[in-house]
Amino acid sequence: MTIRIGYLRNALSQRNRGRGAPADAANADFRVLESIDQLDAHLQAFAEAGIEILIIDGGDGTVQAVLTWIYGGDRGWRPRLAVVPGGMTNLIAHDVGLKGDPGEAAMRLSRGGGELATRAVMRVRHGADIHCGMFFSAGAPLSTIELCRRDIHSKGFQASLAVGATLAFVAGRRMLDPTREDEIFRPYQIAVTPPDGETDTGPQLLFMAATTDGLMVGANPFWGGDGAIKATWAHYPAKRFLRRLPALYRGREPKGDDVYQSRSGDRFSLRTGEPFILDGEIYSAPEDGEIILDHAGDAEFVR
């Protein structure tokens, strides 16, 4: 029996500008997202049509918007998802994305092909707003991403090359002056309450949490267990940061050093006035400063 496939392409995503429907996707219910205002209508139509696999062709922000629609409320519809890397960084697609031509992938999925990968969905509650995604960060990672977009992407670097170039630039600058505070290496007032309930009042250099199996360019900076949400944070000033970076990058716990903390579980609470980023989208901190990260359920991705 043929599986019902929905295909949502974000026309505004970096790799999708000016592109039409994939040549081999005639078996899919193909819809183009030309404005975020259209998202609700498109997803509602997919739900009413009983779509079993939804292909999301866009960047991390597009995937986050779809996850928020499905997991942020009780929709009664949780299709399997397939991700085509159509954006700038594509961290989620790097983990669970489709390989090869999107049209051919749609044909393969409609015949029951592909392998399944299950990932937890992170729900972020901030003030009256709820967003669902897979990678959250605040502090130095957000400042680094802003630097990447402003100074690296603008010079023509793309995707993981831009991330790698930014990390190399930041590390090189830090080596020249290890004690200098700048727009990245500075104290961020972030209080962290992990699942065990003991609040770390900060200040921190960074906080990040993920449900993906690793990040970009081989990074997997988590060693605190196998819970739904994995989180790592570092107290400011994070002495010997560059010396520790190779181990942190691979998720190895620094021995005899309580500056670097990593935990996993179903719920983390933050209190901060700092902005944060969720799957490439930047948000201001809520007025009361409280941000809750919890487990919204599990998504099945086909790749």
Quick one: pLDDT at residue 41? 97
Who wins on pLDDT, 63 or 23?
63
Q: What confidence category does residue 172 fall into, taking pLDDT thresholds of 50, 70 and 90?
A: low
pLDDT at 238: 83
pLDDT at 240: 79
pLDDT at 105 over 60: yes
Write down the mean pLDDT value for the chain. Answer: 86
Higher-confidence residue of 237 and 181: namely 237
Contacts of 270 (CB under 8 A, 6+ apart): 138, 190, 191, 192, 193, 207, 290, 291, 292, 293
Average pLDDT over residues 201-215: 95
If we measure between CA atoms, which residue out of 295, 266, 289, 125 comes closest to residue 201? 289
* Radius of gyration in angstroms for the set of CA atoms belonging to the chain, rounded to a whole number: 20
The segment with the largest mean pLDDT, out of 94-108, 124-138, 255-269, is 124-138
pLDDT tens for 10-31 read 988 877 666 666 655 667 899 9
Least confident of 43-52, 209-218, 274-283, 294-303: 209-218
Q: Can you give the pTM of this predicted structure?
A: 0.88
pLDDT, one tens digit per residue, over 143-154 is 877 766 665 555
Res 111: pLDDT: 85
Predicted confidence (pLDDT) at residue 169 exceeds the cutoff of 60? no
Q: How sure is the predictor about 287, in pLDDT bands with cuts at 50, 70 and 90?
A: very high
- Residue 169 or 80, more confident: 80
Provide mean pLDDT across the span 160-186. Answer: 59
Residue 159 reports pLDDT greater than 80: no
Q: Mean of the pLDDT values across residues 176-192? A: 77
pLDDT at residue 3 above 60? Answer: yes
E strands within the chain? Answer: 5-10, 29-33, 53-58, 80-85, 116-126, 129-133, 135-139, 190-193, 204-210, 229-235, 260-265, 267-272, 276-278, 281-283, 290-302
Q: What is the C-alpha separation between 249 and 247, in angstroms, rounded?
A: 5
The whole-number average pLDDT for the span 37-57 is: 96
Beta strands 135-139 and 29-33: pairing type? unpaired
CA distance 79 to 53: 5
81, 46 contact by CB (below 8 A): no
Share of the chain above pLDDT 90, in %: 57
